[in-house]
Amino acid sequence: MSIIGVGIDVAEIDRFRASLERTPGLAQRLFVEQELHLPSGERRGIASLAVRFAAKEAVAKALGAPGGMHWTDAEVYVEDSGRPRLRVRGTVAARAAELGVMSWHVSLSDDAGVASAVVIAEG
């Protein structure tokens, strides 16, 4: 296997929160239903969404940042073990298939008001 692409992104959590509050329906355009119903507690919930947004940006970068991909075609979830995973469909899966992506590696973090994500696409 070889690395096809690497993406990294950061999102300032309070700025992300303000964007969601300012733009009705933005959360529904960015996230699938399962992503919207995450850990309880407002701060934790916003941080979870911000880190997922950063991961989706990192996915796009790992795929060469092509236009036409839909945010909801990349879903970030966490296994029971705590390991973050990526599920792709539709436009994201099509681009990944074009490039020969066979697997994904995802790392998520948030601290000091910043959410970050690294995504590696491997073929």
- Whether 103 and 122 have beta carbons less than 8 Å apart is answered as yes
What proportion of the chain, given as a percentage, has pLDDT over 70?
94
Range of the domain at 16: 3-122
The owner of tokens 């690497």 is 6
Q: pLDDT tens-digit profile of 33-66?
A: 999 986 554 446 899 999 999 999 999 999 998 8
- Beta-carbon count within 10 A of 60 CB: 21
pTM value? 0.92
pLDDT (tens digit per residue) in 112-121: 999 999 999 9
**Side-chain-side CA neighbours of residue 104 (13 Å):** 27
At 89-113, the pLDDT tens digits run: 999 999 999 999 999 999 999 999 9
pLDDT score of 98? 96
Q: Which two tokens stand for residue 10?
A: 């950061």
At what angle are helices 42-62 and 13-22 packed, to 10 degrees? 100
Instruction: Name the residue with tokens 């947004």.
Output: 53
Q: How many domains does the chain have?
A: 1
Q: What's residue 39's pLDDT?
A: 55
Say what the pLDDT of residue 38 is: 66
What CATH number has the domain bearing residue 116?
Answer: 3.90.470.20
